């Protein structure tokens, strides 16, 4: 009966690693991810041509780069998904430490590429955004701390993880990067909620976030400008939101046709932040609906598999990773249809960007490793801390 409820699988002695990985992998989630990658290349063919022409490159320059970054991301995802949860945790600790140091040195060695926020390191042939790699590492490290705090005589892991979260959030706000800071805070809050946080405390945290938003609005011109643009009932047709709104309206149900869209010639970020506008204009609501279904399938299926997981660390880390993945996609699409203020956030596996693609590949690889079917052991083993 226990195996029927918790989905345990028999252990096959001496089974090779790859067959075991394939047997225990969530193949539906993997299929959705591969479809997102293919759609990203398809949209890149449409959205990146104007940018390549403006910069003096060949028409498919950015598509080729996205293919290279994407294949690297898929390789990182596959390698990470083969790892055990313990090995994933060790990788996350090292990766978080390196990304944290890189984030701390951004004000000294980083660049803003003329966008007003110092978020990148210029490597000459490419750029590196440390915050993208920080996110999955932070989620796993924070989940480890929270899970440790629930053990008998365990450390104050929840408090430690919250202090670490506040440090990361403050470093991101100073760039300023309010979008990534919000994602980090959201990921920690989700894990704290799943770990059994009292509702009153969560309400107080939400109030603190609102007060923080008011303070940021009054103290940051960058933040205030985006909020004012979002709240303004009249959208300036010459702004990015204006172009995106018009493109979505023109696309209708089936789009204007492949290659016939015009928004990619007007939007400087058509291949990144506003890739959904290109999809809606050329392929219509149909492709946007497909994207929504794919992201929703990954999130819902992963959460259902994590509900059967007894190990606290795996359950918390997996929930944090998949919720952050889903919310990032929701924010990107919400900005494009003017449901949310502009955040400068990519659409996972679809938008162009080396750091975003590779970091997302690592994060999803961790998620696949955590959602693999595994024997659940006896409940007493987990109560005594031996289940890991």
Note the pLDDT tens digit of each residue in 297-321. Answer: 999 999 999 998 989 999 999 999 9
Residue 376 has pLDDT above 70, yes or no: no
Q: What percent of the chain has pLDDT over 90?
A: 43
Alpha-carbon span 263 to 368, nearest angstrom: 36
Of residues 241 and 84, the one with the higher pLDDT is 84
User: What pLDDT score does 96 carry?
Assistant: 96
Residue 127's DSSP bridge partners are: 122
In this prediction, residue 235 carries a pLDDT of 64
Helices (H), the chain: 2-6, 17-24, 27-47, 49-54, 61-82, 85-104, 106-109, 130-149, 157-173, 178-194, 199-219, 221-231, 240-251, 275-307, 312-336, 354-370, 379-383
Report d(CA 170, CA 251) in Å as an integer: 40
Nearest C-alpha neighbor of 338 from the set 287, 277, 268, 294: 277
Strand partners, 120: 111
Collapsed DSSP state (helix, strand, coil) of residue 111: strand
Instruction: Please give the Cα distance from 54 to 266 (Å, whole number).
Output: 12
pLDDT, tens digit, 9 for 90 and up, residues 147-172: 999 888 889 999 999 999 999 999 99
- pLDDT category at 97 given cuts 50, 70, 90 is very high
Determine the Cα–Cα distance for residues 339 and 124; give it in Å rounded to an integer: 36
- What is the per-residue pLDDT for 246? 81
Q: Is-contact 178 129, C-beta < 8 A?
A: no
- What pLDDT score does 336 carry? 83
With 50 as the cut, is the pLDDT of residue 283 above it?
yes
Indicate if the pLDDT at residue 378 is higher than 50. Answer: no
Q: Residue 20, class by beta-carbon neighbours within 10 Å (0-12 exposed, 13-18 middle, 19+ buried)?
A: middle
pLDDT digits over 318-338, tens only? 999 999 999 999 998 988 888
Name residues whose C-beta falls within 8 Å of residue 188's C-beta, 6 or more positions apart in sequence: 138, 139, 142, 161, 162, 165, 320
Average pLDDT, the chain: 84
Flag whether pLDDT at 201 surpasses 50.
Answer: yes
Residue 82 has pLDDT above 70, yes or no: yes
CB count within 10 Å of CB 75 equals: 13
Mean pLDDT score, 199-208? 79
């Amino acid at each position: 009966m226990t195996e029927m409820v918790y989905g345990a699988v028999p252990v096959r002695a001496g089974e090779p690693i790859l067959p075991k990985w394939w047997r225990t992998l969530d193949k539906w989630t993997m299929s959705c991810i591969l479809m997102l990658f293919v759609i990203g290349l398809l949209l890149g063919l449409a959205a990146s041509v104007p940018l390549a022409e403006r910069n003096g490159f060949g028409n498919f320059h950015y598509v080729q780069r996205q293919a290279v970054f994407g294949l690297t991301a898929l390789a990182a995802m596959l390698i990470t998904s083969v790892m055990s949860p313990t090995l994933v945790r060790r990788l996350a600790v090292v990766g978080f430490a390196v990304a944290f140091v890189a984030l701390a040195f951004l004000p000294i060695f980083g660049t803003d590429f003329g966008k007003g926020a110092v978020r990148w390191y210029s490597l000459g042939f490419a750029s590196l955004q440390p915050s993208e790699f920080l996110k999955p590492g932070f989620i796993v490290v924070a989940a480890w701390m929270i899970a440790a705090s629930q053990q008998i005589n365990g450390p104050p892991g929840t408090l430690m993880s919250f202090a670490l979260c506040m440090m990361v959030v403050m470093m991101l706000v100073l760039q300023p990067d309010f979008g990534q800071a919000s994602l980090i805070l959201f990921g920690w809050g989700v894990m704290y909620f799943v770990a059994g946080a009292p509702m009153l405390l969560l309400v107080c945290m939400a109030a603190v976030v609102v007060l923080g938003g008011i303070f940021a609005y009054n103290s940051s011109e960058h933040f205030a400008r985006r909020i004012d643009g979002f709240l303004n009932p009249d959208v300036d047709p010459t702004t990015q939101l204006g172009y995106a709104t018009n493109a979505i309206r023109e696309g209708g149900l089936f789009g204007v046709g492949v290659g016939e869209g015009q928004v990619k010639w007007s939007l400087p970020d058509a291949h990144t932040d506003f890739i959904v506008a290109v999809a809606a204009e050329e392929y219509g609501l149909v492709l946007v609906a497909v994207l929504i279904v794919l992201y929703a399938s990954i999130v819902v299926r992963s959460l259902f598999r994590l509900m059967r997981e007894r190990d606290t660390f795996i359950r918390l880390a997996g929930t944090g990773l998949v919720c952050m993945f889903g919310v990032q996609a929701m924010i990107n699409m919400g900005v494009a249809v003017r449901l949310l203020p502009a955040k400068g956030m990519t659409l996972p596996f679809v938008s162009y960007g080396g750091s975003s693609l590779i970091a997302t590949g690592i994060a999803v690889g961790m998620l696949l490793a955590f959602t693999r079917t595994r024997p659940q052991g006896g409940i007493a083993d987990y109560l005594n801390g031996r289940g890991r």
